[in-house]
């Protein structure tokens, strides 16, 4: 039923249906039925494009009409869906997808759609140094982000223009001067498809490199297995998977009975101290380890050389790192407060003792001042002087006529 419907559909409707299948299979999980239907629909689109002769080798992107520009993406969509096909021989799937990607890239190169950086790479071969590869990937990523932002902007402009045109149609009749809006829509549609093709080119180069690496890896594994005389069969993989699952299941059951006790933390120890179950002076095993940044976190062990010590200081924060946790700082302050309270208790006990009071008895070894003649003479002389010199007598400035 679906095949008969695809045969009866014209090229624009068939392409729109295949594009929806591609979008659904790419964004959501790769449903194999949907992937196969999408590949079949895109294959029919490719056959119809070749039969109709929509593109010519003598043309460039400026010679292609706006309505036919979207059919350039048929080969790219087919390559992406082909890569998602689940098959026993994965290498054949990778080769088929790479062939479609190369066909798409060569067609875009003939139509002058490739950027200059990618054109130089495809002409002179890929760069050998890692720096060139990194610069090429960064430039490709920036072009991809710019294309996505531009497509989003064009979509928002189209929606705003559609809302305004519908409102204008309901309020006023269409006049002859509004024909320029159609031209603007055509230019925006062409710009949107060119941007979509540019985004597809960036994705095609990245996908081609990834598939090439995967093919090399699978070929190396297959060659190694053939040299060892063993067949890389699915039964062996299923057996290994079952054994691994059984081991993890048994380990989960054993862990219920062999799970060690959780180590005490600073917060737990502080709570025990507050509730009286532990003393501040008691030691606990939990130690605070400050965060380690940079390569030192990858080393994970003690720094044994000067090179490792210098590498550990890379990408360190500008501020000073904490030397203890919040719990440890609280315990330290608690110990200081306890010492202060103990000292205050001792001082209060001394203040309330008998020898601090007024009616205290003389302490042993202390002489009594009242029995001292020198002290009595001094007190008498002081009393005589106060009698002879009344208070304020020498202050002449207080007298009104002085």
Nearest to 49 by CA among 65, 22, 63, 68: 68
Residue with tokens 């932002």: 149
For residue 158, give the nearest of 133, 195, 127 by alpha carbon.
195
| pTM, two decimal places | 0.52
* Whole-number CA gyration radius for the chain: 45
| pLDDT tens per residue, range 114-128 | 887 777 766 655 556
Question: Residue 185 pLDDT more than 70?
Answer: no
- In tens, the pLDDT along 382-402 reads 999 988 888 777 766 665 554
C-beta separation of 147 from 199 below 8 A: yes
> What pLDDT is attached to residue 397?
64
More confident residue, 170 or 188: 188
Taking residues 14-30, what's their average pLDDT?
82
CB 300 within 8 A of CB 243: no
Instruction: Round to whole Å and give the CA distance between 141 and 138.
Output: 5
Query: Which pLDDT does position 179 carry in this prediction?
Result: 47
**Could you give the angle at the alpha carbon of 308 between the alpha carbons of 306 and 309, nearest 5°?**
60
**273: pLDDT strictly greater than 60:** yes
Residues 248, 244: Cα–Cα separation, whole Å: 6
The per-residue pLDDT for range 230-247, each reduced to its tens digit, is 555 666 677 777 887 777
Please indicate whether residue 366 or residue 387 has the higher confidence score (pLDDT): 387
| Confidence at 308, pLDDT banded by 50, 70, 90 | low
**Which among 69, 73, 82, 9 is positioned nearest to 40, based on CA atoms?**
82
């Amino acid at each position: 039923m679906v095949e008969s419907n695809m045969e009866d559909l014209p090229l624009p409707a068939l392409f729109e249906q295949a594009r929806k299948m591609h979008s659904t299979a790419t964004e959501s999980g790769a449903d194999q039925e949907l992937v196969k239907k999408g590949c079949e629909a895109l294959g029919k689109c490719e056959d119809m494009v070749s039969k109709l002769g929509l593109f010519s080798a003598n043309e460039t992107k400026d010679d292609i009409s706006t309505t036919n520009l979207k059919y350039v993406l048929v080969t790219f969509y087919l390559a992406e869906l082909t890569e998602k096909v689940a098959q026993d021989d994965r290498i054949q799937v990778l080769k088929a997808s790479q062939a479609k990607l190369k066909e798409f890239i060569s067609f875009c190169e003939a139509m002058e759609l490739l950027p200059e950086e990618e054109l130089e790479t495809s002409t002179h071969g890929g760069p050998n140094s890692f720096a060139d590869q990194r610069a090429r990937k960064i430039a490709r990523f920036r072009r991809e982000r710019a294309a996505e932002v531009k497509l989003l902007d064009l979509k928002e402009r189209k929606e705003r223009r559609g809302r305004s045109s519908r409102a204008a149609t309901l309020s006023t009749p269409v006049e002859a001067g509004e024909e320029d809006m159609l031209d603007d829509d055509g230019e925006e549609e062409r710009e949107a498809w060119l941007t979509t093709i540019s985004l597809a080119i960036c994705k095609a180069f990245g996908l081609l490199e990834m598939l090439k690496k995967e093919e090399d890896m699978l070929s190396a594994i297959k060659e190694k297995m053939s040299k060892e005389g063993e067949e890389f069969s699915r039964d062996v993989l299923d057996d290994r998977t079952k054994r691994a699952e059984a081991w993890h299941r048994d380990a989960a059951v054993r862990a219920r009975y062999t799970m060690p006790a959780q180590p005490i933390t600073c917060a737990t120890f502080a709570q025990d101290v507050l509730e009286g179950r532990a003393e501040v002076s008691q030691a606990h095993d939990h130690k605070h380890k400050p965060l380690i940044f940079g390569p030192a976190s990858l080393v994970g062990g003690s720094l044994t050389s000067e090179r490792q010590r210098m590498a550990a200081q890379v990408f360190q924060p500008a501020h000073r790192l904490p030397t203890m946790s919040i719990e440890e700082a609280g315990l330290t302050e608690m110990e200081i407060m306890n010492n202060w309270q103990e000292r205050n208790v001792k001082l209060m006990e001394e203040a309330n003792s008998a020898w601090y009071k007024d009616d205290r008895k003389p302490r042993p070894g202390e002489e009594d001042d009242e029995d001292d003649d020198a002290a009595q003479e001094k007190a008498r002389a002081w009393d005589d002087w106060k009698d002879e010199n009344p208070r304020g007598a020498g202050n002449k400035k207080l007298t009104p006529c002085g």
